[in-house]
Amino acid sequence: MIPWRSPRAVISLRQINALPAPERDRCYLSLVPPAFCERFGLDPLAFTDPQGRRLASVEAPREHASVRLSITHRAGALDPAFFLRLDESRYGNLQITFIILNDPEGPRFEVDLDDEGKVTELGARTRNLRAEESAMRAGLTPGQIRPGLRMLRATLERIEAFAGRLGKNAIILEAFFYHNALTYERQGFGYLAGRDRMEAIHRGFQPGGILEARLDGSTPFRAQSAGGGIRGRSWAIHDGILRQRWWPPMMYRPIGVRLGICTAPGVPF
C-alpha cells in the first residue's frame, strides 16, 4: 500500500468523506497494515482477491465525521477479519470507536449470540455462558469470537500515522474490557479517566484483597487462580466479580509518544 498523504486543506474525517469515492477509499484503506493483505493474498491497492472480487467495504457518510472499514479474507466470509470504526471526538482528536482483528481461520465461539439466537452485545446485554466457557478454555478473552490476528501494534501505527497527517494531537479510545485496557497500556496509552479504578482493581486481586476473596470457584470464570493473570482477571470481571457495572476507561496516546503506564505491574497476560 502506498502511504496516503493528506492535502493541507484536509484536516477532518468529514472532509475526507466529501472526497470522490476512489480518493476517499484510498485514504482509509491506508489504515490497513500490509501484513493483512500478504496474509490473505489480497491486492494491496484494490483489496481484491485473486478472482478480482473486492473484499473491502468503506462506509463514510458525507454528512458525518465517521468511517467504518470492513474487510473479509474471502468472498462470502461470515465475519470480517478486519473491522475499524473511527470518529472524531468533540475536541477534534481521532477516536478508535471499535476495532476487530479476527483470525478467520481460527475456531469461532458463539459468544455474540445467546441460546435463543439473540445478539448478546458481547455480554453487555445477555451472555452465552457455554460459548464463553469454551472460549475461555481455548485461551480467548471476553468479547472475542475468534483468536486474534496479532496485528494490533501494526494497525495502531497506521492509525497514528493517519492521525498525524490530519494534524491531530492524539488518538483516543474506550477500553471495553479490563484486558483491553492492559493491552493498550502496553501499546503506550495512558488514561484520561479510569486509572484510579484500574489501580484499585489490581489491589483487589492481591493476596488478601477483596476481589481475590471472591475467587471462590462458584463459576468457571472465578477460579482461585484467576487473579494471577490479566486474562483470568478479565473473565472474572466480565462475570460480575466487581459487583458493579464495568465502566470502560477512556484512554489516549499522544502522537509520537508512548506513555509507559502500567496499572498491573508484574502480572502476565
What's the chain's Rg over C-alpha atoms? 20
CB burial of 209-224 (b: ≥16 within 10 Å; e: otherwise) equals bebbebbeeeeebbbe
Residue 166 neighbours by CB under 8 Å, 6+ apart: 6, 10, 11, 12, 94
260: Cα within 13 Å, side-chain hemisphere: 1
* Confidence category of residue 121, pLDDT binned at 50, 70, 90: confident
Task: Count the Cβ atoms, other than its own, within 10 Å of residue 176.
Answer: 17
Domain membership of residue 45 (yes or no) is yes
* Confidence category of residue 8, pLDDT binned at 50, 70, 90: low
Domain membership of residue 150 (yes or no) is yes
Structurally, the chain folds into a number of domains equal to: 1
Domain membership of residue 180 (yes or no) is yes
pLDDT of residue 2: 34
Domain membership of residue 152 (yes or no) is yes
pLDDT of residue 1: 34
Domain membership of residue 51 (yes or no) is yes
Domain membership of residue 184 (yes or no) is yes
Identity of the amino acid at 204: G
Q: Average pLDDT, whole number, for the chain?
A: 94
Q: What gap in Å lies between CA 70 and CA 174, rounded to an integer?
A: 20
**Structural domain span for residue 33:** 13-194+245-254
pLDDT of residue 254: 97
Q: Which of 250, 249, 248 is nearest to 95 (CA)?
A: 250
Range 158-176 average pLDDT: 96
CATH code: domain of residue 93: 3.40.630.30
pLDDT tens across 132-162, in order?
999 999 999 999 999 999 999 999 999 999 9
* Confidence category of residue 111, pLDDT binned at 50, 70, 90: very high
pLDDT tens across 36-63, in order?
999 999 999 999 999 999 999 999 999 9
Task: Count the Cβ atoms, other than its own, within 10 Å of residue 195.
Answer: 17
Query: Residue 221 in contact with residue 235, Cβ under 8 Å?
Result: yes
pLDDT tens across 184-229, in order?
999 999 999 999 999 999 999 999 999 999 999 999 999 999 999 9
Domain membership of residue 145 (yes or no) is yes
The stretches of the chain forming alpha helices (DSSP H) are: 13-17, 21-29, 34-40, 129-137, 152-165, 178-185, 195-204, 210-213, 230-238
* Confidence category of residue 116, pLDDT binned at 50, 70, 90: confident
pTM: 0.93
3-state DSSP call for residue 48? strand
Q: How far apart are the first and last CA of the chain?
A: 33
* Confidence category of residue 91, pLDDT binned at 50, 70, 90: confident
Domain membership of residue 231 (yes or no) is no
